[in-house]
């Protein structure tokens, strides 16, 4: 009898659980799409491609330090000024820390806070070996502009400037001040460029309406059960740290090894780091991302996410397994990247050293991750960090008017895209601007194939010219929506 009662109770609870979870999933409705009077501009894509090609031909490789000869950046700025005459005519040019530059286009309404459009002038080096075209030739071929920086990120800079050039040519004048902020060392963390620009603006008493920089991505929704494209807007950046793990042991000749060796102990430590991954957790940006995507998902995904609070213990590990991308979103990742022992094969080294590269999730820090690694490997392993470690950035506001307008603009120009915030897993100059606004957004308005995206920092980097025109339309529309 008691068994029967327990059975019925369990059955009733199961029915209740299923009804509640299904009801919650059914309550997730797609947001209404607002009517838009958007009429796309005609863009002369070949003319924009020529401008990008010329920009690629100027070899603005990041300087090793700010004392090195950076005259190439002046050459680059003269070029930019020559191909965007209307912007140049209307702009005040401010050089910051020698090579970083602000072009300020003053708006007619001083009560509006300025918008900052970011891009970096510098590019990573390119060895011509293995390239189909000269990496600094700017060759236009088969609908692409080839060369280093054609994607990362001279394309975005050219599109952003061209968008305003077109409006100014049409005789339109912005009401809101627009600041083009172009650093010169993003590829080396932006400390001489973006950081100094933001300090300069802060010292000048400037507050910003919003910042837009590279980052974000356009994804095929299939991996998340969505039959549309997803435009992800980066609302924060993961932190970064390189941890050096060091094991010291008596060295000597390899013919008479000690019971434990430095290399063996280092290997064990690295194995432990790999095995004891950091726990996944929900952060503000991941919660917001899934909340924005859930209405568009197929039923099983929707069911899972509508009940995220109840199903969390299952959902978190599942998302870590689904794909490397969702794994990166959910947790701090730890990747062993280097290991070093003796310099000759028959020597026991006195010291073995390895590096673990960490991308740190919102809510954790360089220090807390170090504490996790130390606990995992034990006290006999010394841990230090390399220069350049940085905590995760603050998280941008997605309830702002600026975010709403960015979302609207993406929806208009890239019709049918679903827009969602997300934690950007790489780095950009944008992280240096949180002193000026909470509305810091990262979005690269160029759809690209995975194959083309993999060319960034690699061989045969190239920019699709049709997408370059689409990106130009994006910036033009963003100015119309937020600055005119």
Positions that interact with Zn ion (CB under 5 A): 152-153
Position of tokens 């601007």? 433
CA distances, 330 to each of 26, 283, 364, 396 (Å)? 25, 8, 12, 18
**Alpha-carbon span 205 to 10, nearest angstrom:** 64
Report, in Å, the least distance between residue 153 CB and Zn ion. Answer: 4
Nearest to 422 by CA among 319, 340, 342: 319
**Alpha-carbon span 180 to 158, nearest angstrom:** 11
Report, in Å, the least distance between residue 428 CB and Zn ion. Answer: 6
- Count, residues in the chain: 484
Report, in Å, the least distance between residue 119 CB and Zn ion. Answer: 8
**Alpha-carbon span 421 to 415, nearest angstrom:** 18
Assigned token pair, 379: 């006290």
CA max distance for the chain: 90
CA distances, 58 to each of 70, 126, 161 (Å)? 12, 13, 17
Given the residues 122, 288, 412, 447, the one annotated as active site: 122
**152 vs 470, which CB is nearer to Zn ion?**
152
Given the residues 152, 186, 213, 364, the one annotated as active site: 186
227 catalytic? Reply is: no
**196 vs 461, which CB is nearer to Zn ion?**
461
Q: What are phi and psi of 306, to 5 degrees?
A: -65, -25
- The gap between the terminal CA atoms of the chain, to the nearest Å, is 76
**116 vs 153, which CB is nearer to Zn ion?**
153
β-bridge pairing 178-183 and 115-120 = parallel
**Cis omega (within 30 of 0) on the bond before 153?**
yes
Note whether 219 and 123 are within 8 A (CB).
no
122 catalytic? Reply is: yes
Position of tokens 């999933």? 25
Find the helix or strand (DSSP H, E) in which 335 lies: strand 333-340
**353 vs 461, which CB is nearer to Zn ion?**
461
Report, in Å, the least distance between residue 155 CB and Zn ion. Answer: 10
Find the helix or strand (DSSP H, E) in which 203 lies: helix 194-203
Residue ranges of E strands in 127-209:
140-141, 144-146, 178-183
Q: How many CB atoms lie within 10 A of CB 408?
A: 18
**153 vs 358, which CB is nearer to Zn ion?**
153
Report, in Å, the least distance between residue 187 CB and Zn ion. Answer: 7
Report, in Å, the least distance between residue 188 CB and Zn ion. Answer: 11
The residues that bridge with 336 in the sheet, in sequence order, are: 356
**138 vs 341, which CB is nearer to Zn ion?**
138
Report, in Å, the least distance between residue 415 CB and Zn ion. Answer: 27
Give residues with Cβ within 8 angstroms of 329, minimum separation 6: 286, 289, 319, 422, 423, 425
Q: How many CB atoms lie within 10 A of CB 301?
A: 17
**Alpha-carbon span 484 to 474, nearest angstrom:** 15
**Which active-site residues does the annotation give?**
122, 186
């Amino acid at each position: 009898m008691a068994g029967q009662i327990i059975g019925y109770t369990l059955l009733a609870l199961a029915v209740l659980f299923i009804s509640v979870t299904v009801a919650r999933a059914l309550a997730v409705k797609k947001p209404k799409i607002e009517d838009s009077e958007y009429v796309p501009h005609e863009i002369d894509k070949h003319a924009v491609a020529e401008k990008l090609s010329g920009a690629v031909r100027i070899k603005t490789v990041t300087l090793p330090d700010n004392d090195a000869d950076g005259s190439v950046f002046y050459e680059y700025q003269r070029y930019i000024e020559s191909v965007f005459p209307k912007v140049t005519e209307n702009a005040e040019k401010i050089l910051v820390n020698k090579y970083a530059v602000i072009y300020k286009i003053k708006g007619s309404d001083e009560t509006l806070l300025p918008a900052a459009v970011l891009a970096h002038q510098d590019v990573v080096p390119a060895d011509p070996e293995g390239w189909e075209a000269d990496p600094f030739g700017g060759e236009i071929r088969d609908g692409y502009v080839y060369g280093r920086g054609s994607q990362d990120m001279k394309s975005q800079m050219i599109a952003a400037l061209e968008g305003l050039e077109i409006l100014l040519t049409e005789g339109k004048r912005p009401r809101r001040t627009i600041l083009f902020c172009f650093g010169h060392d993003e590829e080396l963390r932006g400390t001489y460029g973006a950081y100094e620009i933001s300090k300069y603006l802060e010292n000048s008493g400037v507050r910003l309406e919003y910042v837009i920089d590279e980052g974000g991505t356009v994804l095929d929704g299939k991996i998340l059960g969505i039959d549309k494209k997803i435009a992800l807007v980066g609302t924060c950046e993961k932190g970064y740290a390189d941890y050096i793990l060091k094991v010291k042991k008596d060295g000597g000749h390899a013919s008479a090894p000690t019971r434990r060796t430095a290399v063996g102990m280092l290997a064990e430590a690295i194995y432990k780091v790999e095995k004891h991954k950091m726990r996944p957790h929900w952060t503000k940006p991941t919660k917001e991302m899934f909340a924005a995507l859930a209405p568009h998902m197929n039923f099983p995904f929707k069911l899972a996410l509508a009940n995220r609070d109840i199903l969390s213990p299952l959902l978190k590990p599942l998302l870590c397994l689904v794909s490397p991308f969702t794994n990166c979103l959910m947790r701090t990742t730890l990747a062993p990247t280097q290991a070093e022992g003796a310099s000759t094969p028959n020597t026991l080294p006195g010291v073995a050293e390895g590096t673990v590269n960490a991308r740190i999730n919102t809510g954790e820090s360089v220090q807390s991750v170090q504490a996790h690694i130390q606990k995992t490997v034990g006290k006999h392993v010394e841990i230090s960090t390399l220069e350049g470690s940085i905590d995760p950035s603050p998280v941008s506001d997605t309830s702002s008017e600026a975010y709403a307008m960015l979302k609207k603009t993406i929806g208009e120009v890239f019709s049918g895209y679903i827009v969602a915030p997300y934690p950007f897993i790489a780095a950009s100059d944008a992280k240096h601007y949180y002193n000026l606004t909470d509305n810091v957004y990262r979005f690269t308005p160029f759809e690209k194939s995975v194959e083309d995206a993999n060319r960034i920092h690699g061989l045969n980097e190239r920019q699709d010219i049709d997408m370059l025109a689409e990106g130009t339309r994006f910036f033009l529309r963003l100015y119309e929506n937020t600055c005119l």
